[in-house]
């Protein structure tokens, strides 16, 4: 069985058709890729892949710098808020058995380190007295009344209770 020129021509035509189909498929894929590229980058598109990579790398550097700046600001903010009064305990009471109502109070105002003050107001018919006692690491160098101790305990546990309830 000899291969004729006609068989070779049919084989060449078949190969050409296969090559044409592959070429059309490749061109279609390239057109679709170009459409997606234009949709993704719009008018701001780089001319080639190298420019695209350089542009993305530059934008990444800017984003990292901004992230570092925000992280530093967050650290400063966290340090400042830890120093601020954010733990409060309040106890109302009646210091006099025969008169009045719960108009007197003790309030403990503390930061995260347990530093702050305890304010106690004693209300009477003729006068109101206000006392302030410093607190250092949840302790005062002055003797505390029962109500002041209770307010101090409330303030000491106030923040941890809020954090635990928000995690639940």
Distance of CA 20 to CAs 9, 10, 24, 69, 168, Å? 16, 15, 6, 56, 65
Q: How confident is the model at residue 23 (pLDDT cuts 50, 70, 90)?
A: very high
Higher pLDDT, 159 or 125: 125
Higher pLDDT, 13 or 34: 13
Helices (H), the chain: 5-41, 49-83, 146-167
| pTM assigned to the model | 0.56
Burial of 151 (0-12, 13-18, 19+ CB in 10 A): buried
> Percentage of the chain with pLDDT > 90?
51
Instruction: Report the pLDDT value the prediction gives residue 145, as an integer from 0 to 100.
Output: 94
Q: How confident is the model at residue 118 (pLDDT cuts 50, 70, 90)?
A: very high
Higher pLDDT, 42 or 3: 3
Q: How confident is the model at residue 160 (pLDDT cuts 50, 70, 90)?
A: low
State the number of CA atoms in the 13 A half-sphere of 12 facing the CB. Answer: 6
Q: What is the average per-residue pLDDT within 62-90?
A: 91
Q: Give me the chain's average pLDDT, please.
A: 86
């Amino acid at each position: 069985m000899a291969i004729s020129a006609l068989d070779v021509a049919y084989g060449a035509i078949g190969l050409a058709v296969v090559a044409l189909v592959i070429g059309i498929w490749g061109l279609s894929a390239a057109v679709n890729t170009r459409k997606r590229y234009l949709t993704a980058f719009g008018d701001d598109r780089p001319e080639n892949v190298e420019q695209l990579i350089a542009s993305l790398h530059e934008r990444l550097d800017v984003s990292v710098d901004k992230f570092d700046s925000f992280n530093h600001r967050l650290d400063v903010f966290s340090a400042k808020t830890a120093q601020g009064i954010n733990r409060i305990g309040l106890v109302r009471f009646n210091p006099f058995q025969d008169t009045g109502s719960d108009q007197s109070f003790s309030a403990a105002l503390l930061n995260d380190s347990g530093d702050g003050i305890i304010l106690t107001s004693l209300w009477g018919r003729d006068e109101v007295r206000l006392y302030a006692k410093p607190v250092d690491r949840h302790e005062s160098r002055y003797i505390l009344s029962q109500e002041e101790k209770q307010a101090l305990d409330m303030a000491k546990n106030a923040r941890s209770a809020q954090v635990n309830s928000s995690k639940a």
